[in-house]
Amino acid sequence: MADLTLTSVKKAYGNLNILHGIDLDIKSGEFIVFVGPSGCGKSTLLRTIAGLEEITGGTLEIAGEKVNDVPPSKRGIAMVFQSYALYPHMTVYDNMAFSMRIGRENKTEIDRRVRQAAEILQLTKYLERLPKALSGGQRQRVAIGRAIVRNPKVFLFDEPLSNLDAALRVATRIEIAKLKESMPETTMIYVTHDQVEAMTLANRIVVLKDGRIEQVGSPMELYRHPGNLFVAQFIGSPAMNILPATIEKTGQPTIVSHVGGHNVSVPVATPADAAGTKVSFGVRPEDLNIATGKDFLFEGVVDYIEQLGEVQMAYIQVGRVTEPLVAKLPGNAEIQRGGVLRLTADPGDLHIFDADGRSFARDRLAAKAA
């Protein structure tokens, strides 16, 4: 059982500030995923929690105890890295037993915990092998096993699947999800670049940018209600389409005119002083559908099509919009490169962001194309 509380946590290397005051409450047993662009500080934050990096400001508490100056080995934390970091000359058994032997645990207890971890991770038949005789996925399972035997309060993962091929990634991802189910009280914090890992593993995702938290929420909260333009474009793949727009009528719903040439009613409330302001209008590729009636959001020419079988990505050049819009359409939809396409979307799936990129508060009012 371990809650983690980060209060204004800062990290600098010399004059270079990397983390600018992170405030975050993590509840015991949560699965938290850190995401963000390369260099935003995900690994630094994880390593700071582990104690591998010294905190230069703020406080970190684990289970109510301030641990800023507590060495890594005394924090009740285990960490799994992308580069499994196994001892090549030791068997799987010895790799897993190593930290307990250092800690002078008794032999029977070491044996019990190694065999139990091997059972959970389906490694029992490999216990006497050396790492070089294992596949990448098996090696990563040994690295996870080595962490499990220490019975940590907090489990940290730094991109543990990024060295695995696509099929193995899926299999190991599911194993990690099951592992979490079998350890409901263990807090897990996981860094990844992979949207699917973040969406499927997390109870809550923390989106970081330039050493600051942009938004924290459940995967679906972030997907459905991104708090700002950055999160809107970072969560979801392909990224949300964004078009410049102007607020024509404030209130609820709000009417915006976008550069695609249409006035659109969006079911969000905007204050009177927002009238005439420039905003960004957003809609996800998967929320666009081919219009069947006379109402439509966009009309444009199909510039390019990527056929993926189940779905096809249509890149559509719309009026004065500089970048083509992306629409994720059913694989069997009859569309043609060079043809004209009209697209529509459910009003509840439309987003608007103010000039600073903040999302306008959303409600569930139905609205129709104006």
Ligand X SMILES: Nc1ncnc2c1ncn2[C@@H]1O[C@H](COP(=O)(O)OP(=O)(O)OP(=O)(O)O)[C@@H](O)[C@H]1O
Judged by CB under 6 A, the chain residues 14 through 73 that form the site for ligand X are: 16, 18, 36, 38-44
Stretch that binds ligand X, among 11-19, 121-129, 178-186, 216-224 (CB under 6 A): 11-19
Give the full edge-to-edge strand order of the sheet including 187-191. 77-80, 154-158, 187-191, 31-35, 204-209, 212-217
Cβ proximity to ligand X, 60 vs 149, nearer residue: 60
Closer to ligand X by CB, 21 or 244: give it. 21
Measured CA distances, 364 to 99, 165, 229, 271, 296 (Å): 53, 41, 20, 17, 20
Close Cβ partners of 93 (under 8 Å, ≥ 6 residues apart):
114, 118, 127, 128
Nearest CB to ligand X, comparing residues 18 and 207: 18
**Window 181-200: residues binding ligand X (CB under 6 A):** 193
Contact 91, 130 (CB under 8 A): yes
Closer residue to ligand X, CB minimum distance, 113 or 173: 173
Q: How far is the CB of 34 from ligand X (least distance, A)?
A: 8
Closer CB to ligand X, residue 36 or residue 236?
Answer: 36
> C-beta of 18: minimal distance to ligand X in Å?
4
Rounded CA-CA distance 188/129 in Å is 29
Nearest approach, Cβ of residue 222 and ligand X (Å): 17
d(CA 192, CA 220): 17
Least CB distance to ligand X at residue 221 (A): 22
Q: Between 13 and 87, whose beta carbon lies closer to ligand X? A: 13
Task: Say if CB 192 and CB 159 are below 8 A apart.
Answer: yes
From the number of C-beta atoms within 10 Å of its C-beta (0-12, 13-18, 19+), residue 38 rates as exposed
CB of 129 to ligand X, least distance (A): 31
Q: Which of 148, 152, 130, 147 is nearest to 139 (CA)?
A: 130
**157, 176 Cβ separation under 8 angstroms:** yes
140 binds ligand X (CB under 6 A): no
Q: Residue 155 CB, nearest distance to ligand X (Å)?
A: 18
Of residues 8, 13, 59, 330, which one binds ligand X by CB under 6 A?
Answer: 13
Q: Which two tokens stand for residue 167?
A: 């099929």
Q: Which residues contribute to the site for ligand X (CB under 6 A)? A: 13, 16, 18, 36, 38-44, 193
